[in-house]
Amino acid sequence: MKGVFYGIGVGPGDPELLTVKAIHAIEAADVLIAPKTEKKDGSVALSIAKPYLKPDVEIVYQVFPMVKGFEHDDSAWKENKAEILGLLNQGKNVAFLTLGDPMFFSTYIYVFRLLEHEDVRIETIPGIPAYAAISSQLGCPIVEGNEVLTIIPATAKREKMERAMEASDNVVLMKVYRNFPDVIEMLEEHGMAKNAVLVSRAGLDGEQVFHDVAAHRAERPNYLSTILTRRDAK
């Protein structure tokens, strides 16, 4: 009998934010796939799940190249897929750990698409995204009443981000590490800088909270950074 493939969201950083279902899946896994980048050793997702690991669980690190247009050179992804299928065919339950939620800006989405048409049982287990944890931690409601909320990747084209901000009462900005000065400028132009709060490494060691984001425009935020904001009251 083939094993089960689990996609597990481990939340933003605090191990206590893992769901009961996520913990049960981790305990059921014979093998854990820990994604890592080409530039860094270790896995943040694995470190979050560490309190719940079985002593004898097998840990497999896989490198997933985060390059634009990886479909033109998908050899590493195909190798990872073959390794996962090999483990499943041995009857082993395999769990893929990912930060936040598996279906929200996650490497898991690509892995899921590689496997969804194979003869494999897949269970995707949701996790708490960073913006939800930040909202609760700081007491900042994300959206209420008839307000419009938009989640924007700061890596999108500027005109697309501008249109999204114009149509929104509240905004969650992800991936702000790359174009931070431009992000601050757009927030100021759309009356959203005053209420903005930036949190880096939410729930992890080295967490930082910045309420006056404009004062830090010359800095480069950590890769794991999120901004929550709402339009200034008129």
Residue 202 · residue 224 · CB < 8 Å: yes
pLDDT band at 11 (very low <50, low <70, confident <90, very high): very high
The CATH classification number of 4-125 equals 3.40.1010.10
Q: Provide the 8-state DSSP code for 232.
A: P
The 3-state DSSP class for residue 224 equals coil
Number of Cβ within 10 Å of residue 142's Cβ equals 17
Non-local CB neighbours of 209 within 8 Å, separated by 6+ positions: 138, 197, 198, 199
Percentage with pLDDT > 70 across the chain: 93
pLDDT of residue 41: 60
Q: Which fold has domain 130-230?
A: 3.30.950
pLDDT of residue 215: 87
Q: In the structure encoding, which two tokens stand for residue 54, read together?
A: 């079985």
Mean pLDDT across the stretch 104-115? 92
pLDDT band at 179 (very low <50, low <70, confident <90, very high): confident
Dihedral (CA of 21, 25, 27, 33) sign: negative
Measured distance CA(203)–CA(197) in Å, rounded = 15
Query: In the chain, where are the structural domains located?
Result: 4-125, 130-230
pLDDT at residue 166 tops 90: yes
Going across the sheet that includes 149-153, the strands are: 149-153, 170-174, 225-230, 197-200, 208-210
Torsion-angle region of 206 (φ positive above 0: left; ψ -120 to 50: alpha; else: beta): left
